[in-house]
Structure 1
Amino acid sequence: MMARGTRKLLMMVILLEFTTDIWMLPAPGGVFMDSMDMRHVLRWTQPKSSCNTVVVYAVQYQGEFEFLVKNGSWINAPECQKIPLTMCDLTFELGSDSDYSLRVRAQCGSELSAWTTFPFNRNNMTPPVPEIKVMTAGDVLLVSVRKFPLTSITRVMMWKGDEEQQAKAHLMPADQEVLQVAALQEGAVYCVKAQVFLNSGMQSGYTDSHCVSITGPGAPAWKEPTTVTLTVIIMLGLLIGLFWSIVHCRPGSCQKYFQKEPLPLSLKGNFDLQININHQREEYCEETPCLLSSVRGEKT
């Protein structure tokens, strides 16, 4: 009797799981990590389903801390909750060299799929070939490398002329922006190439060789910016002094510096013309009889 009850219970559980698998939304497939230039993007394919609405996705991740200390808890990727895209940028979430577990599931309306899990460790990813720039300043060779995460180191190989077999290695941590190699031979040609490697031992390929000619000893690196700074300070001081002198200059003191020169005689005009109308009239009347006076005399 007991065995029959157990069988029936087992059959019901199997049937329930079978029907659940039939009606449940299929889980996303083809999950993989697309890592390029130390950027990590999780991608997947859309499940085949007859969903009447847009299928959205949710992504979670779990690091060693969540697995060991927080009893296997999962963290929601902030930018990847209910998104219609089949990709999720997890570059900032996967910020350490520990092992991670990633998972993604689909949702159609109120129907959810199962989680698809994907393991990841960024140290297992091959770092990209670095980008470098090579310049010279006098007898100094400067090599700048694009920044990488703090777990990476750039190895710069340097040699003179065609002596690549005798190349010397220079190591640059990720927080060092420029490598300087001084006291090089004037007129000689130096070549460099670089690669990136991680603490795990994974390394990129080498860059192409970059060769430059050394022009000769030049001014120290500090001299040019120091000269520019001193020039700016001196000019600013002169302008401030001139402005202060103009504002605080007394009238008596300033007159000897700002004297008004008189105009030359050749530029002066003679405007002292005086016309005496009455005097001219009297002279005119003396020479010719005044008609007006004679007319008045006749009337009287």
Structure 2
Amino acid sequence: MRLRQTWTWTLMVMLVLLDFITDVWMLPAPSAVAMESVDMTHTLTWRPLQTPCNTTVLYSVQFQGEFELMVLNGSWVDALDCQKIPHKHCDLTFDLGSDSDYNIRVRAQCGSELSSWSELSPTFNRRHTVLTEPKVTVTVVGDVLQVSLDKLPLTAVAHVTVWRKDNEQQAAVYTVPAEQMVLQLPDLQEGAEYCVTAQTVLHTQQRSSSTEAHCVSITAPGPDVVWKTPTTVTATVLLMAGLLFAVFWSIVHCRPDQCQTYFQKEQLPHSLEHVQEHVQDVLMSPLETEHCEQIHIVPSDKD
């Protein structure tokens, strides 16, 4: 009898708990949770809910690294830029800041209704990012070879390989950090052809594929370039000297009648003529003398 009552109470409690869980998690959890990581940019994506909602469905994301799992007793951390967002993706690039395995989960919210969490499977490690080839632009200025790089992750470097086309065995490798982006190689052999390739390299030695070889020729300055610059400077100096001489000669040899023609005195406007006459009258009028009278003080007799 007691055993039957115990089973009855247990069943009732389970039904109440099941009903409570159903009320709380009445929204379906997001599905198709996946991570897209290219060039150290990590974006979590999921499929939007198809359940009708009288307001905008919002999503929240949490992550758990080895530190949270081992040191913080399995706690989860909110992704700051991915709390109650209406998007179906979340940029976790700055949240996943170590080379550890991360558990990541997302849930949906419609008004006050919450879904259960959907976890990413398997765990994610940023070392699994896909590296693409850097964009390379090669230009020549005189005997200087300039290599410009683009699309480098901030935590990566580029290995730039340069060789003379007829001597590939003597290739040189240069390391270019992401913040530099430009490599200059001066004093190259004129008339020779140089080739350049580049690849992206992470601190974990993970590498992208190499770019195709970009080959350019180091051409010597033509004969017109040799004389063009000094000739331009000389012509400019002579022109400025001629202009200064002409101005000085004109000032020295200018006759009074001609100078008067070039430098005529403009007449004052009619409204200012009276003001000028008044100022002249004031300046030419004699100063008024100050009249002083002597005052005699007579002392009074005391009783």
State the TM-score bracket (shorter-chain normalisation).
Answer: 0.5 to 0.7
Q: Distance in 1 between matches of 2:129 and 2:93?
A: 13
The residue type equivalent to 2:204 in the other structure is: S
CA offsets 1:151-196 (integer angstroms, 9 cap, x no match): 3221112222265566432222334332233332211111111111
The residue type equivalent to 1:120 in the other structure is: F
Asked whether 1:263 is paired with 2:257, we answer yes
- Assess, with a 3 A threshold, how the Cα gap between structure 1 residues 31 and 262 changes in structure 2: closer, same or farther: same
- Assess, with a 3 A threshold, how the Cα gap between structure 1 residues 13 and 48 changes in structure 2: closer, same or farther: farther
CA offsets 1:138-161 (integer angstroms, 9 cap, x no match): 323222222634532211122222
Shift of 1:11: 4.2
Q: Distance in 1 between matches of 2:12 and 2:134?
A: 60
Question: RMSD of the alignment, in Å?
Answer: 3.4
Answer yes or no: is the 8 Å Cα contact 2:135–2:151 preserved in 1.
no
Report the 3-state secondary structure (helix = DSSP H, G, I; strand = E; otherwise coil) of the residue aligned with 1:120: coil
Shift of 1:56: 1.3
Corresponding position of 1:142: 146
Match of 2:32 among 30, 33, 39: 30
Q: Distance in 2 between matches of 1:98 and 1:164?
A: 40
- Assess, with a 3 A threshold, how the Cα gap between structure 1 residues 258 and 68 changes in structure 2: closer, same or farther: farther
CA offsets 1:103-122 (integer angstroms, 9 cap, x no match): 21001121111111223222
Match of 2:175 among 157, 171, 174: 171
Report the 3-state secondary structure (helix = DSSP H, G, I; strand = E; otherwise coil) of the residue aligned with 2:83: strand
Corresponding position of 1:211: 215
Corresponding position of 1:194: 198
- Assess, with a 3 A threshold, how the Cα gap between structure 1 residues 85 and 258 changes in structure 2: closer, same or farther: farther
Q: Distance in 1 between matches of 2:151 and 2:43?
A: 19
CA offsets 1:200-246 (integer angstroms, 9 cap, x no match): 332212222211111249xxxxxxxxxxxxxxxxxxxxxxxxxxxxx
| TM-score normalized by the length of structure 2 | 0.63
Q: Distance in 2 between matches of 1:6 and 1:162?
A: 91
- Assess, with a 3 A threshold, how the Cα gap between structure 1 residues 136 and 3 changes in structure 2: closer, same or farther: farther
| TM-score normalized by the length of structure 1 | 0.63
Q: Distance in 1 between matches of 2:33 and 2:202?
A: 25
The residue type equivalent to 2:33 in the other structure is: V
The residue type equivalent to 1:194 in the other structure is: A
Q: Distance in 2 between matches of 1:56 and 1:196?
A: 37
- Assess, with a 3 A threshold, how the Cα gap between structure 1 residues 52 and 184 changes in structure 2: closer, same or farther: same
- Assess, with a 3 A threshold, how the Cα gap between structure 1 residues 194 and 14 changes in structure 2: closer, same or farther: farther
| Residue correspondence of structure 1 range 41-52 to structure 2 within 5 A | 41-52=43-54
Q: Distance in 2 between matches of 1:45 and 1:36?
A: 20
Of all paired residues, the percent bearing the same amino acid is 51
- Assess, with a 3 A threshold, how the Cα gap between structure 1 residues 16 and 135 changes in structure 2: closer, same or farther: farther
Corresponding position of 1:61: 63
Report the 3-state secondary structure (helix = DSSP H, G, I; strand = E; otherwise coil) of the residue aligned with 1:33: strand
> Which is worse superposed, 165-174 or 4-13?
4-13
Q: Distance in 1 between matches of 2:207 and 2:128?
A: 10
Answer yes or no: is the 8 Å Cα contact 1:147–1:175 preserved in 2.
no
Report the 3-state secondary structure (helix = DSSP H, G, I; strand = E; otherwise coil) of the residue aligned with 2:80: strand
Q: Distance in 2 between matches of 1:80 and 1:34?
A: 16
The residue type equivalent to 1:104 in the other structure is: V
- Unpaired segments of 5 or more residues in structure 1? 218-256, 268-300
Match of 2:96 among 94, 97, 111: 94
Larger Rg: 1
Asked whether 1:161 is paired with 2:165, we answer yes
Shift of 1:44: 0.2
Q: Distance in 1 between matches of 2:169 and 2:16?
A: 70
Answer yes or no: is the 8 Å Cα contact 2:38–2:129 preserved in 1.
no
Asked whether 1:129 is paired with 2:128, we answer no
